[in-house]
Amino acid sequence: MFTCARTFVISLGIVFCASLTVSASPFKIEIIASGLEHPWGMAFLPDGRILVTERPGRLRIIEGGKLLPKPVEGLPAIEPIGQGGLLDIALHPDYQNNGWLYFSYAEPNKGLLFSKYGTAVARARLDGNRLKDLQVIFSMNKKSSGGRHFGSRIVFDRKNYLYITVGERGERKRAQDLNDHAGSVIRLHDDGRIPEDNPFTKTKNARPEIYSYGHRNPQGIALHPETGEVWLHEHGPQGGDEINRIGPGRNYGWPVISYGVNYSSGTKIGEGTHKSGLEQPIHYWTPSIAPSGMAFYTGDAFKEWQGSLFVGALKFQLLVRLELNNNKIIKEERLLVGQLGRIRDVRNGPDGFLYLLIDDDEGAIVRLLPSTLARLD
């Protein structure tokens, strides 16, 4: 178990729409399990077990604080290429009764000369250490080579609609093509059917699964605990990581507008930072923090954190806490600066604590406990 007691002072030249605080940590860190190879997403089963995905293509079970030695069997074909592999995981809101779990992954399309890959989502039921009743409910319509920008976060809203983030695969213009899943948020029924009220169901040459578009590489998604709105964050290029509130049919601008610049050259991307008809982020980071994983804190363990939005950061290896007021971010606090490594995922635990996944060859799942609380066994 680690204890966070240092005060960190940094100067990163960050540009925000809110104040920034880097403070001592009012908590201690408890390792739940280690030995995970590049863990990416996690889900809490009702019986206390934790499911964790490993990007190389394994689904693991943590039981009684121990990582079970054998991965879950029965996964579909998964390609661990670049940023792709086995990625996010979520339980159906009625999991207790139907047993469905959902996971996103890089789906391969093997060819004789070269292969292509795309974001896909499947659902299955867990039977002991094996998946059964496997169904692929979403498959990216235009697969491509390379291992960049799969997106792949998934979340259910309060009406049991499933939202899937899809990156633009490193091919910028695709994010503005409504006939291409790349660079979009997908909205489906829990069985993969397309909702009739999706915004583009009657639009010619548009994919009816698309709910919003103009995204670069969204790797965090969460429901606002009060409004039920879908929020996401996405990687910018060199600068311009964004947090957005997602609405039907809205265009979030990539690559027409961005607060980031081109790599190496530092030149402007698209037409600048604003354009009529394109959505503005509610918060952005320049330079980039490389955000990954996101959760609104709704537990009781940290009263002062209730309603805060937490975002993991890969580049600066820290946890960001954002305070909100009327859907506006008014303060940013930076925690765990350089202490744990690359924070890949952030989740509310059923015990009221905050859980983090540490992305590494020898990664781990940890939880944050109030500093006044004795260690939990």
Tell me the pairing of strands 354-359 and 363-370: antiparallel
Token couple for 239: 């600068």
Cis peptide before 39 (omega within 30 of 0): no
Q: In one letter, which amino acid is 247?
A: G
The DSSP secondary-structure symbol of 81 reads -
What is the side-by-side strand order in the sheet with 130-139? 86-91, 100-109, 116-127, 130-139
d(CA 344, CA 358): 6
Other CB atoms within 10 Å distance of the CB of residue 355: 22
What is the four-CA torsion angle of 371, 52, 56, 33, rounded to 10 degrees?
Answer: 40
- Is 38 part of the annotated catalytic residue set? no
CA 120 to chain centre: 15
Report yes or no: 357 and 293 within 8 Å, Cβ to Cβ.
Answer: yes
Other CB atoms within 10 Å distance of the CB of residue 13: 7
Q: What are the φ and ψ backbone dihedral angles of 248, each rounded to 5 degrees?
A: -65, 130
Query: Choosing from 92, 149, 233, 283, which is the catalytic residue?
Result: 149
For the annotated catalytic residues, the residue numbers are 149
